[in-house]
C-alpha cells in the first residue's frame, strides 16, 4: 500500500472532515456549560418528563427573576435546566413551586459555578493544551536527537504536534456541530477527553516515528519516502489493533456507561479514531513533504514558496 504516494488524497480527506467543523466553530462557537460560563444547573426527575408543561416551569423561574438559558430533556425521565446563578433560598422556593405543578417532579441534582471560577477553568484549559503541545515537541526532539539526517529531530516533534492539532480540531469541530444541532454542552470532562486524545495521538505517532528512526539507522539505500512508507506499513497492524481494542471498550461504555459520561465517551471515540488516522496518514506524510521541501531548497538556493 503506497500511503506516501497518495498523501495528498489523505490530506484532502482530513480537510473535508475538519473544514465543516471549523466553519461551525467560527459561526456558532461551542455551547459552554456552567463549568465555563458560571450559573446554575438543575436536573428535575419526572415520569414522562416531556408531558410536563414546559411553559409552567419556565414561568416559575421567570416569576423568581431567574433567566433560563437552556431547557433540555436528558432522557425520558429527566429535565436539565441551566440558568443564571440561583441562591439557596430562591432555589428552595423554585423547587417548591415546581412541585405544585406536578407531584411526580423531584429535584435530582443542583450545581452552581461562579463566573470567576468558570473563566479560570476556560483559561486553564487553553494553557493545558498549549503547554502539552510545547512539551511534546521538546520531548520528541530530545528523544530523536540521535537521528538528525535527513530530517532534523525537532521536525519529528513538530509533525507529531501537527497531527495532534488535527485531532483537536476534529473533536472541537464535531462538538461545535453537535452543540448547534442537538444542544450538546461541553464541560470540564470535555477538556479531560481532549487532553487524553492528545496523549493517545502522540503515542500512536511516536510508534511510527520510532520505526522510521530504526530504519534510518540501518542505512537503507532506498529513498526517504519509500523508507517512511515501509515504516508506516510495518506498524500499520499494530496501530490499528491497538486503536480497535480501545474503540470497542469505549463503544461498550457508550452503551452502558450512563448519561453522565455519554458525551465524554463520544469525545474520546471521535478523538481516538481521528488520532489513529492522523498518526498513519498525516504525520509521516507531512514529514516527507518537509523533507522534499528542504531538498528542493538546498538544490536551488533561490527556491521560495510561491505565494
15-20 long-range contacts, CB within 8 A, separation 24+ = 17/170, 17/173, 17/274, 18/166, 18/169, 18/170, 18/173, 20/173, 20/177
DSSP 185: P
pLDDT of residue 248: 95
Residue 178 has pLDDT above 90, yes or no: yes
Boundaries of every domain in the chain: 7-32+117-299, 39-113
- Regarding the domain with residue range 7-32+117-299, which homologous superfamily does it belong to in the CATH classification? Multidrug efflux transporter AcrB transmembrane domain (1.20.1640.10)
pLDDT of residue 301: 59
CA-to-CA distance for 141 and 78, rounded, in angstroms?
Answer: 50
Tell me which residue of 217, 205, 221, 222 sits closest to 148, measured CA to CA.
217
pLDDT of residue 187: 83
Taking a C-beta distance cutoff of 8 angstroms, is the pair 169, 156 a contact? no
Q: Taking each helix axis as running N to C, give the angle between helix 283-299 and helix 188-217, from 0 to 180 degrees, rounded to the nearest 10.
A: 50
Residues in the chain: 307
Give the pLDDT confidence of 16-71 residue by residue, as tens digits: 999 999 999 999 988 888 777 778 989 999 888 888 888 999 999 999 999 888 88
DSSP 18: H
Decide: pTM greater than 0.85.
no
Taking a C-beta distance cutoff of 8 angstroms, is the pair 289, 7 a contact? yes
Residue 118 has pLDDT above 70, yes or no: no
DSSP string, 227-248: HHHHHHHHHHHHHHHHHHHHHH
CA-to-CA distance for 281 and 6, rounded, in angstroms?
Answer: 9
Q: Regarding predicted confidence, which is higher, 171 or 158? A: 171
Mean pLDDT within 83-92: 89
Burial 1-29 (b: 16+ CB within 10 A, else e): eebbeebeebbeebeebbeebeebbeeee
170 — pLDDT class (breaks 50, 70, 90): very high
Can you name the residues that pair with 71 across neighbouring β-strands? 81
| CATH topology identical between 7-32+117-299 and 39-113 | no
- Regarding the domain with residue range 39-113, which homologous superfamily does it belong to in the CATH classification? ACT domain (3.30.70.260)
pLDDT of residue 281: 93
Residue for grid cell 505517532: 205
Can you name the residues that pair with 113 across neighbouring β-strands? 39
Give the pLDDT confidence of 248-262 residue by residue, as tens digits: 999 999 988 777 788
Q: How many CA atoms lie within 13 A of 122 on its CB side?
A: 17
Give the pLDDT confidence of 219-237 residue by residue, as tens digits: 666 788 888 999 999 999 9
Amino acid at each position: 500500500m503506497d500511503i506516501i504516494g497518495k498523501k495528498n488524497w489523505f490530506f484532502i480527506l482530513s480537510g473535508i472532515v475538519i473544514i465543516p467543523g471549523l466553519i461551525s466553530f467560527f459561526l456558532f462557537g461551542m455551547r459552554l456549560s456552567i463549568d465555563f460560563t458560571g450559573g446554575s444547573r438543575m436536573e428535575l426527575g419526572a415520569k414522562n418528563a416531556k408531558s410536563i408543561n414546559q411553559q409552567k416551569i419556565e414561568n416559575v423561574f421567570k416569576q423568581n427573576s431567574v433567566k433560563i438559558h437552556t431547557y433540555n430533556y436528558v432522557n425520558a425521565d429527566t429535565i436539565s435546566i441551566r440558568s443564571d446563578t440561583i441562591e439557596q433560598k430562591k432555589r428552595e422556593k423554585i423547587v417548591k413551586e415546581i412541585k405544585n405543578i406536578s407531584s411526580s417532579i423531584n429535584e435530582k441534582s443542583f450545581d452552581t459555578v461562579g463566573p470567576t471560577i468558570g473563566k479560570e477553568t476556560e483559561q486553564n484549559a487553553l494553557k493545558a493544551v498549549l503547554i502539552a503541545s510545547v512539551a511534546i515537541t521538546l520531548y520528541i526532539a530530545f528523544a530523536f536527537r540521535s537521528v538528525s539526517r535527513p530530517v532534523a529531530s525537532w521536525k519529528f516533534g513538530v509533525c507529531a504536534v501537527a497531527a495532534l492539532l488535527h485531532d483537536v480540531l476534529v473533536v472541537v469541530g464535531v462538538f461545535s456541530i453537535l452543540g448547534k444541532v442537538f444542544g450538546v454542552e461541553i464541560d470540564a470532562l470535555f477538556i479531560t477527553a481532549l487532553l487524553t486524545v492528545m496523549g493517545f495521538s502522540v503515542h500512536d505517532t511516536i510508534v511510527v516515528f520510532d520505526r522510521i528512526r530504526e530504519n534510518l539507522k540501518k542505512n537503507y539505500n532506498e529513498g526517504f519516502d519509500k523508507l517512511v512508507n515501509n515504516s508506516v506499513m510495518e506498524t500499520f497492524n499494530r496501530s490499528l489493533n491497538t486503536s480497535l481494542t480501545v474503540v470497542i471498550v469505549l463503544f461498550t461504555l457508550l452503551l452502558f456507561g450512563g448519561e453522565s459520561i455519554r458525551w465524554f465517551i463520544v469525545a474520546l471515540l471521535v478523538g481516538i479514531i481521528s488520532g489513529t488516522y492522523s498518526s498513519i496518514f498525516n504525520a509521516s506524510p507531512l514529514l516527507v513533504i518537509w523533507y522534499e521541501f528542504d531538498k528542493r531548497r538546498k538544490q536551488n538556493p533561490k527556491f521560495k514558496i510561491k505565494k
